[in-house]
């Protein structure tokens, strides 16, 4: 892939990049001024829709299409919620944007609110991001002082207030209706849909929920146009009418066993191997890669033989993963136990399940108990099929839960065991040579007394 000039990270590393003065010096808020002066809200919706911008928070739903779901004749108020929870493990691209270039996100938020006729926006911020909180609140204050927020913005009839709301460190709040419930001061239990937030969201009013990176892309689409955005990335598949393409730049986080962990901006569609070798500096300590998570642990695993996988919205699904997710790639070298990886992943998901849906609450906990038994040397080969059965029967995709957390828990179970079954079987046989063939029911975990 030829060298790519960063857009979303263009200001990162420059002096005082988080300030309004530095942002305006780099051309910031010009697009907002132009849109408010020359375009109607519907024009902005159509601009974003024509760009085929897909949400960067994980699901990849077309942003402009989501905006168009809002009722046309609603008297208001209409709300926008900015999802800055970013709780997917190994994901930190939103943090970089908020800490070092908050005005880029705020300009996109203001544009999004103008397009959707929202009068109030809430930035739902992950509790563990104190510097992002300080930078966002300072940037918002600068916007009020400069006339970019408040009543009659830039002399127009458009008015907007933005507030920062800190979450309480819950993974489930990354789900849009769980986020909305938390904003309302309630337990963050995702809502049954329909009604969808566009019809009945925050305070039972029409609401749009967008990710931080998505709104940063809106800023540049407004400034450069839809054709520019669609010149980057992977075009739609002409043989698949349901594929809207994977257009635009993307922030890829890479961590784990690489020489140069960090956040890299590249066109959508870079392969996992190129990201690791060219940008991540290759696998550390001269070792070989065994596997990689393509986009947050809820997406599952790619084996080293699958590193030709393009990291766009369609690529990981063709390799048995849930999807691109947050594009947070975690590399596992040849020394890593996949049994340990799946145990840690399942433990996280069991802890973060809100408990509202029985298949998720019981399924994640049951899978964790089975893996704890395997790690304690009491595992059976039959346990692997039980874990696969759990994975195949929980989540939105089989239609058993309200939100997608169970799918995120299930995919690592399913493809870790199916892709690395031999490693799991060797571990069980080696740690439980006398009982690995047992088929009758046994206790989930026998308590072992240490004398």
- List, for residues 24-35, the tens digit of each pLDDT value: 999 999 999 999
- Helix (H, G, I), strand (E, B), or coil: what is residue 24? helix
For the chain, which residues make up each domain, given as ranges? 20-231, 249-332, 338-431
pLDDT of residue 447: 47
pLDDT of residue 111: 98
pLDDT of residue 443: 63
Which CATH code, of 3.40.630.40, 1.20.1440.230, 3.30.1330.10, 1.10.3720.10, is assigned to 338-431?
1.20.1440.230
Cα–Cα distance between 228 and 379 in angstroms, integer? 55
What is the arithmetic mean of pLDDT over 16-20? Answer: 97
User: pTM score, two decimals?
Assistant: 0.93
Helical ranges in 93-154 per DSSP H: 93-100, 102-116, 130-146
* Burial of 309 (C-beta count, 10 Å sphere; 0-12/13-18/19+): buried
- pLDDT digit string (tens) for 332-362? 999 999 999 999 999 999 999 999 999 999 9
Q: What is the mean pLDDT of the chain?
A: 94
Cα–Cα distance between 442 and 370 in angstroms, integer? 11
CATH of the domain spanning 20-231: 3.40.50.11540
CATH domain 249-332 topology? Ubiquitin-like (UB roll) (3.10.20)
User: DSSP of 338-351, one letter per residue?
Assistant: HHHHHHHHHHHHHH
Between residues 214 and 439, which one has the greater pLDDT? 214
Name the residue among 347, 379, 368, 376 with its Cα closest to residue 450: 376
Confidence of residue 2 (pLDDT cuts 50, 70, 90): low
**pLDDT surpasses 60 at 412:** yes
Cα–Cα distance between 250 and 93 in angstroms, integer? 10
Residue 191 backbone phi and psi in degrees, to 5: -90, 150
Q: Taking the alpha carbons of 50, 51, 54, 55 in that order, is the dihedral positive or negative?
A: negative
Determine the distance from the C-alpha atom of residue 252 to the mean position of all C-alpha atoms in its chain, rounded to a whole number: 11
pLDDT of residue 399: 93
Classify the phi-psi angles of 256: left when phi > 0, otherwise alpha if psi is within -120 to 50, otherwise beta.
left
- pLDDT digit string (tens) for 266-291? 999 999 999 999 999 999 999 999 99
- Spell out the residues 6+ positions from residue 266 whose beta carbon is closer than 8 angstroms to its own: 1, 4, 249, 250, 252, 275, 279
**pLDDT surpasses 70 at 90:** yes
Confidence of residue 242 (pLDDT cuts 50, 70, 90): confident
Cα–Cα distance between 287 and 267 in angstroms, integer? 28
Residue matched to tokens 């433990």: 347
Confidence of residue 448 (pLDDT cuts 50, 70, 90): very low
**pLDDT surpasses 80 at 240:** yes
**pLDDT surpasses 50 at 451:** no
């Amino acid at each position: 892939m030829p060298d790519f000039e960063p857009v979303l990270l263009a200001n990162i590393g420059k002096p005082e990049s988080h300030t309004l003065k530095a942002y305006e010096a780099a051309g910031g808020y010009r697009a907002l001024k132009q849109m408010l002066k020359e375009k109607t809200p519907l024009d902005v919706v159509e601009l974003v829709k024509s760009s085929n911008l897909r949400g960067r928070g994980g699901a990849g739903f077309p942003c402009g299409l989501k905006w168009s779901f809002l009722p046309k004749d609603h008297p208001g108020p209409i709300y926008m919620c900015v999802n800055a929870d970013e709780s997917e493990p190994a994901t930190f691209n939103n943090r970089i944007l908020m800490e070092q270039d908050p005005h880029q996100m705020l300009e996109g938020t203001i544009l999004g609110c103008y397009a959707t006729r929202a009068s109030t926006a809430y930035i739902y911020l992950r509790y563990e991001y104190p510097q992002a909180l300080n930078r966002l609140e300072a940037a918002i204050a600068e916007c009020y002082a400069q006339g970019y927020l408040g009543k009659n913005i830039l002399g127009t009839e458009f008015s907007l207030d933005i507030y920062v709301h800190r979450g309480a460190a819950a993974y489930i709040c990354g789900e849009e209706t769980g986020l909305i419930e938390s904003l309302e001061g309630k337990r963050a239990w995702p809502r049954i849909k329909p009604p969808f937030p566009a019809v009945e969201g925050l305070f039972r009013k029409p609401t749009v929920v967008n990710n931080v990176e998505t709104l940063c892309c809106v800023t540049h689409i407004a400034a450069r146009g839809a054709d520019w955005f669609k010149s980057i990335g992977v075009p739609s598949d002409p043989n698949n009418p349901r594929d809207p393409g994977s257009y635009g730049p993307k922030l890829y986080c890479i961590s784990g066993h690489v020489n140069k962990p960090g956040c890299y901006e590249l066109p959508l569609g870079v392969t996992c191997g190129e990201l690791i070798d060219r940008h991540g500096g290759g696998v550390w300590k001269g070792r070989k890669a065994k596997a990689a998570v393509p986009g947050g642990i809820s997406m599952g695993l790619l084996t080293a033989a699958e590193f030709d996988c393009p990291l766009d919205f369609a690529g990981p699904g063709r390799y048995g993963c849930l999807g691109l997710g947050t594009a947070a790639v975690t590399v596992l070298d040849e020394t890593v136990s996949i049994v340990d990886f799946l145990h840690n992943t399942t433990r996280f998901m069991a802890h973060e399940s809100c408990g509202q849906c029985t298949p998720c609450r019981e399924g994640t906990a049951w899978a964790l108990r089975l893996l704890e038994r395997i790690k304690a040397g009491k595992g059976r080969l039959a346990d692997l099929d039980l874990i696969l059965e759990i994975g195949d029967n929980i989540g939105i995709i089989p239609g058993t839960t309200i939100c997608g957390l169970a799918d995120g828990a299930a995919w690592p179970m399913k493809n870790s065991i199916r892709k690395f079954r031999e490693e799991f079987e060797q571990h069980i046989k080696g740690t439980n040579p006398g009982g690995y063939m047992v088929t009758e029911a046994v206790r989930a975990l026998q308590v072992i007394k240490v004398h």
